[in-house]
Amino acid sequence: MKLSNQKLIYLSPIIVVAVIFIFTLTLIPSVSQAPKNLPIAFVNADEGMTVPAKGNVNIGNQMEQNMKRASTEQSLVKWISVSNTKEVEKGLNDQKYYGALIIPKDFTKKQATLQTAQPDAPAIRLLVNQGMNTAASALASQVLNGAVDKMNENMRLQLVKRFEQNGTQLSASQALALAAPIQKTVINVNETGTHSVNGNAPVSLFQPLWIASIAGAAIVFLSIQKITFSSRKEKLVNQVGFIVIGAILALAAGFGLAWLAEVVGISVPSFLDTALFLAIAYFSFFTLISAVLSWLGLKGLPIFVIILFFGAPLLSMAPEIMPDFYREWIYPWLPMRFMVNGVRELFFFGRHLTWNSSVSALTLISLISLCALFASALPASSVKKEESRSI
């Protein structure tokens, strides 16, 4: 048969271009990042001071008002006022904030000393929630440092103007204080450490687990396709065996991946918790893929390959950095985000394996998938045939 007679040859350029187009779309989130409303906490503990000619002066309140005016619906940062440091620490651990700016209670009083012979520069603490997301925490660090640098610049100009108006000659200590009227201390909380693939260990573990889920589901599906069932009951019993096989594969995948992670140099805080959580995630993905295969056959596999290519770039990004379309319509539907979030909590937030939001979401996916899987064993045609036999 001549090659020119094959219709698929003429369609091949269109197919190639279509494949390139589809997978080029996966680059859009990384190329078209649109940071917006990055939540950063702001604590104003400044008690202010009473000035004879001006009454009560509180520079912290002035800064807080400036922060609020800077927060709009389209701004890069969403400044969130928090009452105290303990509440901020809890919010950072609960992954509510990517960072925090804390103004101490003696801020105004120390600022006033900058015009005296013994200046004592006020200090601000900057907290960066490093484990929440690598890219977003780096952006939060830039924002926090930039905010303090701007405060320094404004305060420096104000002080220089006052010294000029008073005709005061600066002492060496005053000149040194003017270089940095506000001191800053940067503290990384929930640190990612040095053996975490630059904070991307959760995403790195997702890819082999997802591919292994596809492979396991496909192998079991092909094996079941070779079996001939004589009754609906026999097919249902076989589905129970399917669940047992899936659980065995999940344990093998969970403990195997956790062990290999340590072998390649990734720091695994709690091996047992990590292995069991990865096993839960694998079983969730395995049942989900198997449910789709039970209804669509092998032609359902490309769905999960496409999810891999479209989902992987998003998993390494914070939702606040994604373009609106991907944040609102793609990211919420990615089942693997629960696995990545769960591993992040185990690795960087000192959590243990508990019934948290990630585990409950993965369990719910498994239950729904199992219902669909058992439903596929009860096609309408088979039910009618059995009913006709009984009659």
DSSP-assigned states of every residue in 326-373? IIIIIGGG-THHHHHHHHHHHHHS---S-S-HHHHHHHHHHHHHHHHH
Contacts 24+ apart (CB under 8 A), 361-370: 362/280, 362/281, 362/284, 362/335, 362/338, 363/280, 363/284, 365/284, 365/287, 365/288, 365/335, 365/338, 366/283, 366/284, 366/287, 366/288, 369/284, 369/287, 369/288, 369/290, 369/291, 370/243, 370/287, 370/291
Q: Whose CA is closest to 79, among 99, 58, 59? A: 99
Rounded Cα distance, 72 and 340, in Å: 30
- How do strand 99-103 and strand 123-129 relate by DSSP bridges? antiparallel
Rounded Cα distance, 306 and 181, in Å: 53
- How do strand 38-44 and strand 77-82 relate by DSSP bridges? parallel
Task: Answer for the pair 293, 301: CB distance below 8 angstroms, yes or no.
Answer: yes
Rounded Cα distance, 115 and 163, in Å: 8
pLDDT of residue 223: 87
CA dihedral 325, 329, 331, 333 (to 10 degrees): -170
Instruction: Sort 87 into a burial class: Cβ within 10 Å, 0-12 / 13-18 / 19+.
Output: middle
pLDDT in tens, the chain (391 residues): 465 566 667 677 887 887 787 767 777 777 777 788 899 999 999 988 887 777 788 888 888 887 777 766 567 889 999 999 999 999 999 999 999 999 999 999 998 888 887 888 889 999 999 999 999 999 999 999 998 998 888 888 888 888 777 777 777 787 777 888 889 999 999 999 888 998 999 999 999 999 999 999 999 999 888 877 777 777 777 778 888 999 999 999 999 999 999 999 999 999 999 999 999 999 999 999 999 998 999 999 999 998 998 888 899 899 999 988 888 888 999 999 999 999 999 999 999 999 999 999 999 999 999 999 888 877 644 444 444 444 4
Rounded Cα distance, 120 and 177, in Å: 8
Task: Answer for the pair 286, 246: CB distance below 8 angstroms, yes or no.
Answer: yes
pLDDT of residue 2: 61
| Structural domains for the chain | 31-189 (3.40.1710.10), 201-390 (no CATH)
User: Length of the chain, please?
Assistant: 391
pLDDT of residue 340: 96
- How do strand 183-189 and strand 99-103 relate by DSSP bridges? unpaired
Rounded Cα distance, 309 and 327, in Å: 16
Q: From start to end of the chain, where are the E strands? A: 38-44, 49-51, 55-57, 77-82, 99-103, 123-129, 183-189
User: Cα–chain-centroid distance for residue 250?
Assistant: 24
Instruction: Sort 14 into a burial class: Cβ within 10 Å, 0-12 / 13-18 / 19+.
Output: exposed
pLDDT of residue 38: 93
The one-letter code for the residue type at 184 is K
Computed over its alpha carbons, how large is the radius of gyration of the chain? 29
Rounded Cα distance, 283 and 363, in Å: 9
Determine the 3-state secondary structure of 228 from DSSP.
coil
